[in-house]
Every structure is written in C-alpha cells, then in structure tokens.
Structure 1
C-alpha cells in the first residue's frame, strides 16, 4: 500500500476528460491519456472514491501524482489544534502587521520576524499587543532569510508563512492543514485575492483584483515546473516542517518561493494549490510602484534559470507547433493551408498511438486542438511579454511582425478580459495588461543582462536531443 490513509478521498479534476464509461481519461499536466482497467473504472464510476485497500490507494496515488485528481479536502481529517505556528516576516508597516495579527486571531502561536525595520519599536509593540514572539534581525537580510529565522523557532508539525500585507479568514489555515492527511504533501497554498479596504480601488488595483501575479486561478492543482500551476507565492504558504529542511534559499530576494517549490518537487514531495480556500492581499494602487514590483518579479527568472535550467523556459513547444507558428507568422497565402496540414498530420499520427481509445481520431483531434491553442498562447506571450524588446525593434522594419503583434495583443486582452471578468472597462484593462507584460519582460531582460546569460529567454523545443543543463547553486 501507499502512504495514503484509509478513508482518504479524491475526485477527478475538473479539467480531466472522461471518455466512454471511464474507459479513457485525458488530462493532467503534462497531458496524459490513461486507459483504466475494469476495477479502476468501477472506482471512478461516480468521479471519485475513498481509499479502502491497497489497489484503491495505488490508483489514488497515481491519479494525484499525474495531476488528474484532487484531494476531497473537506472530507479529510484536520490536524489537532495548536499544530501550526504562524511566521510573519515584516519590515516596517506596523499597521499592516496589526491587521494581519488581528485576522489570525487569539490563541495562536505566532513568530514575528522584524527584518531590520527603520522604526522597530512599533513592530515590537504590535507583536506584544497580540502575544506574538518578536524576533528582531540586526541587518536587513530579505524575506527568505527572515522566514528561515522564524522557521528555526517553530516547534509545531506545521508552519504557516504569511506576509504582513495579507489578511486571513478564520478558516483559511485550518482548511489548508487538511491536505497534510496525504503524507506526501510538503507545501500547500490558498488562492490569493485582493483586499480593498477603501471605497475606490483605482484602475490598477481593479486590474490586480482580476489578474494579480499572486492569483493562480480558480482550479486546484498539483504544483510542479511546467504545470498549469508551476509555483506558489510565499505571501501565504502552509508547510510540513520536517519536509522543509532549512526552508528558503536565504540568499535570494526574489523568486525564493519558486525555488523552494521546485526544490521540494525535485525531492519527490508533493506541493498543492487549493483554489477553494482564499486569503487576501492588499495590492498596489499606484502605477510606478506596481510597475516596479512587476519588473522586480521578472528579474528572478535569471537566477531560476541558473538553478533549475529549462524549467524556467518562457515557452515549451513541440517541433510541429513551432512549424505551425512560423507558418502563421509568415502571413502568406499558403500559411493557413500549411498550418492546417501540420495540425491534421499531427492528429493522424497521434491517433495511431491512441488505438485503445473507442474513438482515437476524435480524441487525437481534441488533443491537437488543445495543442494549437497552447502554442498560440505561448507564441503570443513570447511576442508581447518575454521577447517584447525584439518585437519592438522588429516592428520598425516588418509589417508582418507589426500585424502579428497587434493581433496577438488584441486577442490576448479580449481573452483575458472575458476569462477574468474584470471590474474594469476593456480599454483600461488592455492598457494594464500590456504594461504588466512590458514591466515583467523588462525585468527578465535586466536579469539576463546582469547575469550575462540568455537562459531565461530561451524556449525549449521538446524532442530535441540537446538540453540545457541544470546547475545546482
């Protein structure tokens, strides 16, 4: 048997396509096609099941590992009371800290790590007012080191890292703790939504409310590099202390959360995102600080590339999808027929590998259609986000590139506006969307220039023999 306890419940993820009578399962990240046996089909007849014996535990373990099922967290047993310690890194902002500590509530173990505040006394007073342990650092070491200083003082099985500009609901952390009924889970995070205490949030804040860098979407997910959710923000994380070791890489001041997640995954531990649980973050409201933060995030791509290689690639494309995008970018009379022929040939080739499916060609066509949409999305991101300086220069000389960039920008803004349901007019949403991409992309390029490496800018073409090596720090 696996480590999953008896009674552990799972349900197929919403993104999984079920063909026939559960004869074919398609989904996960990376995309997989499974052909369950008769016993597995019986277990999956209602879309989920609870572990009752060895075979059911093995099936549950496989589906969880493939990202094709999610824990039925509400039905899982919660850890005992007082099993978690809250670690709050802070530098100044005592009002934010008081608000967070009030939301955590009384009777909790809380460690406030003061990362060399310019005015430490208000921070110490806030910690004392809410019976939190106050740990001052003599030198500003950054949020990763501050969290590690707090982690070293944790004596409970679980730790909740929460930034001072967050606000928690009473049920946020208890709900996340249920995931640790799976002994393979090391880290879990909630969905992070906006906190707007004022009446007028402003257009930047309303954009962030709909498409914040910290909001990872409406669907739960297994977190791993290149997954639909590939990282978790350190603004709110709950972890199993014994699985975290020394914690974050203390030398990192950006992308330390991505680095931690990827290190845990590389060690074989599970990391989960639970979109059904929410925490609140006060987003930036002013244009310049907002752009500066986006750019700061982008600078972390270089260090991630140095540590984790092609996991940080801005696009991962199959050879056929590269040819598909190049045919469209050429904008010739033959472009659409050639692109259609590439997709059709790929579907036919894939159908031969899916002969066990009741309708192999139909399934292959659906999968190729998803691949086409993914390729278009990644191609658009390269033009508008990661490679925008090259796009800007190219547009000075190429009408085709200008048309491609204009169309990509319009379609991207329209799709995201509809997907997010932003409480903002389409024009300002489109402007904010482009500024978001420009700032992040500028940060990626700045990090690449400083680090003398283009690793974070290089896409990966799957199926090629040459691979970029991952170097350990």
Structure 2
C-alpha cells in the first residue's frame, strides 16, 4: 500500500468516466482502464478515498497512469517534517534578504555563497537572519553550490530555493504532505511572478507566460506529459533520495536532469499548484533574451543523458503522415489528411468497442490528437527549427505560408489560454522573441555538442500509444533560471 488510509485522489481533468462508470479513459499516454464491479464501488464521484488495501491499490494505479492526483489537503504531515533550506547565491544580497525574510526562523537555513564578488554583503544578510554561511572559494555553478549545501543537511527533507524567489508561509508545509506517499522523492510548487504591478511589457509577458510556470493544474511530473520537468527555483525533496545530488558538470538543465533521474529510478515527482513561490522575472529585454537563450543551451546536455526523454516533438506514425500532408499544401493535402484521421478514428473506435458510443469518443480523441500534432508542428517551425524555417522562407512560398499560419495561430491560441494582461501585438512580439531566443540556444548547444539529438523529433513505434494524446507540446525541457 502506497498512500496512507484516509487520503483521497481525484481524477485528472482530462480523465473521462465512460461506459456507464465501467471504465476510465485518460492518462498519459491515453489509455482505457476497465473497472471491476468492486473497483467501481470504491469511487465517490470523481474521487477515490483510500479506505483499505484494495482502494490503495487502485489509487496507486491511477497515480501511475496520470489519471488522478492526490488531494493534498487529505494527506497527513510526515511523522518527522523537519527540513533545511539551502539557498545558492552569488551576490544578490538584496534578493537574499527578501527570501530569508519570507522563510522565517522555524527551519535551519544554509546560504551557499558561490564566490560572490561582494561576499561581505552576502555574509551580513546571512548573519542578520541567523543562517549558516558556506562560502565557496571558486564559482562552481548552481549544481555545485546546491550540493555543497546539501552536504551540511541533517534533516529528512531539504528545500532548495533560489535567491530571486519569495516563499509563501504555507508553501513548504503543504508540499511536505506529498511525502506521505513513500514513492514521492520531490515536490514543487507553482512559480508565479513576484510583482503584479509589472513595470515593463516583458515583465507583463513573463507574468502570464513564464518558462517556470507549469500551469494551474496538479500533475505527476514525467517526460512526455504536459508537465515534463520541474524547476529547482523552489523544490522540496527527500534527502535520502538525492544520492549525489545535482550533476555538477551541468551549468544549465541540472534540475531537469535530477528530476528525470529520480523518475527513471521509479520515484515520483509531484507538481502542486495550490501553493506558490513568487519569482522575480527579468524586466529588461536584453537580459530576458539572453536568459531564454541560456535555457536553450541545456537541450543538448540533456539529450546526451536522457535520449528518450527530450525531443522537440513526439509524433505517432499517423500524425507524421497527417502533418506532412498538410505541409505539402497540394490539392490532395486536405483529402489525404482527412483520410488519415478517418483511419485513426476507426482504429480507436475498435479499441473502445464495448464502452458505449465508441465512435463519438474516437472522433473526439482523434481531433485532440490532430490538434496536438498541429501544435507540435507549429513549435518546430517557429521555435526549435526556426533557422531552417528562415532559410526555407527565402526560397519557398509554401514555407512562408505555413510559417505565417503557424506563428499567428500560435499567438491567437496561447494569448487566450494565458489570459495575458498585455495587448495582443506586444504579446505576439514577445512570444516570437521567446521562441527565437530559446531556439538559438538549442542550436548553439547542438553545434557545440556536434549532435542533432536535441533537434530530432521522435516517432513512437506503432502500438506504443493506443490513442492519440493531446495537451501541451512535450518539447525539449526549458531549464530553470540560475541563481
């Protein structure tokens, strides 16, 4: 039994109850889970209370498939909830003072100074807040600084917090509840903007579309899903699960690497958006563009370490044919694309036979899969492959047309989804600059690594996914900001 008695799991918003309650459809990848009569009696609406071994086993299955998530308020606090906060910092005394003020005095704090140019200012802030100061003689980067602090931790849990965030009082206590599940090794909050009164248009864009904001819905962090990575801007983790900690050879993407290593080891990483950590976004265009490019340079090192986890797009064979037909922009393109979708819908309907209205479900899933394919194709054109797209635009009217449609459709869809407080024109400009900068970083890392692994889409083998998957593009992870 994994989850303790008294805890509750709730269906993911994409999970559908079908066939009169005899089956569930959802998860990542999408699958059909048939329920026995006994299992059906365990459900209470869209929730499953854990009352005995049978309900605990079903809850564990739902968590593994991504069909449900724990209701954090139902989880107990760990028997030993002690934790230590580790803060890597280089200069930024003002931001450090603000962070330490939000942490309070209930937990020990270790400030790791990563060879600051003004060590005295950092030391004064640490002393004022009664934090232990570990001063490194040479700059080792965020991974090395966090590991240096981790070596001093004697509590069961550790909180890694970057100096440019502010913690809400209930953030860490709430995240600790997830460790009632013994398979959870790490839990992260939602990262939001620090200032609601943004001073620049870039900051307003970041407040609605930050690379660190993973959305408003809880999730199990796993590659290839809508929440495929977790930032170390704010992380709560079990100390005994971290082993050697972060990979110190990585200056970018080391947090994504650690997250994926834990998942590959069979551990769970939970994203809990009911609690937040506020992040100080960059407000100057130059700094913002540079940071986006730096994020992109983490793609190639991650591709070397996790070749099955990182790709700019993930297609099934049918979705490859569907996208190729549309990109061809011939008279036969629409009929061929429609025929592909028709075949897919029929195949899915056969797999759903006996569920009641299999045709209707198959059409809905096929449409969702088609939209996901178009979203990923758009990202390839405007984000990951934009240097090739730019060359293609100079010689091909079809490439120009496809790129224009992709760029405008992307802005229109994302603007509505993000509920941006920025006008559409400046939002669209920021969106395209975001993609261009990140894509430039990916290409730079590919050239330095002499490999196209981070640029190569992945086509899943036939049968790997029983039905198409929709949602956010499972693109190459965007590493977290540095301290």
Corresponding residue of 2:471:
none
Aligned counterpart in structure 2 of residue 325 of structure 1, from 320, 323, 326: 323
| Structure 1: runs of 5 or more not aligned | 466-473
Structure 2 residue matching 1:367: 3-state secondary structure = helix
Corresponding residue of 2:255:
257
Corresponding residue of 2:232:
234
**How big is the shift at 1:224?**
0.9
**How big is the shift at 1:464?**
6.6
**How big is the shift at 1:46?**
1.5
- 2:44 is the counterpart of 1:26: no
**How big is the shift at 1:107?**
2.7
Give the distance between the partners of 1:35 and 1:357, measured in 2 at CA.
9
Give the distance between the partners of 1:442 and 1:458, measured in 2 at CA.
15
Give the distance between the partners of 1:17 and 1:353, measured in 2 at CA.
16
Give the distance between the partners of 1:148 and 1:439, measured in 2 at CA.
30
Stretch deviating more after TM superposition (342-351 or 423-432)? 342-351
**How big is the shift at 1:200?**
4.4
Give the distance between the partners of 1:200 and 1:297, measured in 2 at CA.
23
Stretch deviating more after TM superposition (44-53 or 243-252)? 44-53
Contact 1:22 1:45 in 2 (8 A): no
Contact 1:22 1:44 in 2 (8 A): no
Contact 2:193 2:207 in 1 (8 A): yes
- 2:351 is the counterpart of 1:356: no
TM-score by length of 1: 0.96
Structure 1 residue matching 2:21: 3-state secondary structure = coil
Corresponding residue of 1:302:
300
Give the distance between the partners of 2:110 and 2:20, measured in 1 at CA.
52
Corresponding residue of 2:161:
162
**How big is the shift at 1:363?**
1.5
Structure 2 residue matching 1:11: 3-state secondary structure = strand
Within-5 A mapping of 1:150-189 = 150-189=149-188
**How big is the shift at 1:81?**
7.3
Give the distance between the partners of 1:44 and 1:327, measured in 2 at CA.
44
Give the distance between the partners of 2:421 and 2:319, measured in 1 at CA.
35
Structure 1 residue matching 2:133: 3-state secondary structure = strand
Structure 1 residue matching 2:188: 3-state secondary structure = strand
Within-5 A mapping of 1:118-267 = 118-196=117-195, 199-267=197-265
Within-5 A mapping of 1:311-350 = 311-350=309-348
Contact 2:82 2:107 in 1 (8 A): no
Contact 1:83 1:156 in 2 (8 A): yes
**How big is the shift at 1:275?**
1.3
Corresponding residue of 2:279:
281
Give the distance between the partners of 2:380 and 2:346, measured in 1 at CA.
28
Corresponding residue of 1:471:
none
Give the distance between the partners of 1:246 and 1:455, measured in 2 at CA.
26
Large movers: runs of 4+ above 6 Å:
none
Corresponding residue of 1:64:
63
- 2:100 is the counterpart of 1:101: yes
Aligned counterpart in structure 2 of residue 383 of structure 1, from 374, 381, 384: 381
Cα RMSD (Å) of the superposition?
Answer: 1.3
Structure 2 residue matching 1:312: 3-state secondary structure = coil
Give the distance between the partners of 1:46 and 1:462, measured in 2 at CA.
35
Corresponding residue of 1:400:
398
Give the distance between the partners of 1:226 and 1:323, measured in 2 at CA.
20
| Structure 2: runs of 5 or more not aligned | 464-483
**How big is the shift at 1:368?**
1.0
**How big is the shift at 1:216?**
0.5
Contact 1:313 1:456 in 2 (8 A): yes
Q: Comparing both chains, which one has the higher relative contact order based on Cα–Cα distances under 8 Å and sequence gaps of 6 or more?
A: 2
Give the distance between the partners of 1:203 and 1:370, measured in 2 at CA.
33
- 2:72 is the counterpart of 1:73: yes
**How big is the shift at 1:162?**
0.3
Instruction: Kindly tell me the number of residue pairs found equivalent between the two proteins.
Output: 463
